[in-house]
Amino acid sequence: MLSDGVRTISAGGVDHWVRIAGGSHDGVPLVLMHGGPGESSYSIEQSVGDAVAEFAPVVFYDQRGCGRTARSDPSTYTMPQLVADLDELRTALGVERIAPWGVSYGCLLAAEYAVAHSNHVDRLILHAPPITDPLHPGVWTMRPAAVDPILTPAERTALRAQLEPLTDPIERTVAAIGAIAQSENAVDFFYYDPANIPADDPESPESNMELALALVGTERPTLADDLATLDIPTLVLAALWDRHVGFDIPRDLTTRLPQATLEIFDKSGHSIDQEEPTKYVESIRKFLGR
């Protein structure tokens, strides 16, 4: 049984911020893998984390260099290192099996961990997984096309002119993100309903852009193939209005996985936990059989 509270656990030579909630519950603990890359577990904690901890043990942690965890040498900001950190954390917690709960980019870490350590994975929860087949152009290549329809006509013309000489998908993604961030229609890219935008929270940790730039574009093309060979119960949470990852990617991943269940949210953008929190929590409860 895990004991609730905040603690520091060293993994890969880095002190990681860890918080356990719902430790008195039986069952394999859910371990949250936040997205970004470079963000923290804070937003999920605030939206649905403690509600899930009412019926299951949950481990929140901030990945190396992120949120409340210590920064490290930028050369260590790699997916293999994040996978190794996670396994050290699991060992330090004294649990044999975990249920990785990936959110957005965190789904890549959850999936890579499952592939590398399937004997330690009981089940998977994937919220908006950007995990594509090798033939798919990829999330970053598609980002400008996702931004384009949300812009005003003038903003759209400016972005297309900016993109014309750019061929690198990451450079094009950065340009598209810059355009939507400055757009008067930006809210429509991020949320289905603007009323669901959370208030600014001064306690929310800053993102680590150095880590983000180190990881973006390094996704392994064969990850979906490898994940599909594992017979692991998986819950895929997908939103119809998700313009970051889209709906097709998580839908198609669900089709490939042997034991996957797709839960569709028709009134959400990328942040499903903020727009449909009750359904989000109940989907996890049902998946866990609680």
pLDDT tens digits for range 101-159 = 999 999 999 999 999 999 999 999 999 999 999 999 989 899 999 999 999 999 999 99
> CA 205, CA 36: separation in Å to the nearest integer?
12
- From the CA atom positions of the chain, what is the Rg in Å? 18
**What is the reported pLDDT for 98?**
98
Which two structure tokens, joined as six digits, stand for 241? 């209005």
pLDDT digits (tens, 9 = 90+) for 255-277: 999 999 999 999 999 999 999 99
CA angle 266, 270, 273 (to 5 degrees): 80
Residue 164 near residue 172 (C-beta atoms within 8 A): no
DSSP bridge pairs for 61: 18
The DSSP bridge partners found for residue 112 are none
Summarize the confidence of residues 89-102 as an average pLDDT: 98
Q: In terms of DSSP bridges, do strands 124-127 and 234-239 run parallel, antiparallel, or are they unpaired?
A: parallel
The pairing of beta strand 5-11 with beta strand 30-33: unpaired
Q: Please, which pLDDT band fits residue 1 given cuts at 50, 70 and 90?
A: confident
Question: How far apart are alpha carbons 114 and 131 in whole angstroms?
Answer: 13
pLDDT digits (tens, 9 = 90+) for 169-200: 999 999 999 999 999 999 999 999 999 999 99
What are 215-269's pLDDT values in tens digits? 998 999 999 999 999 999 999 999 999 999 999 999 999 999 999 999 999 999 9
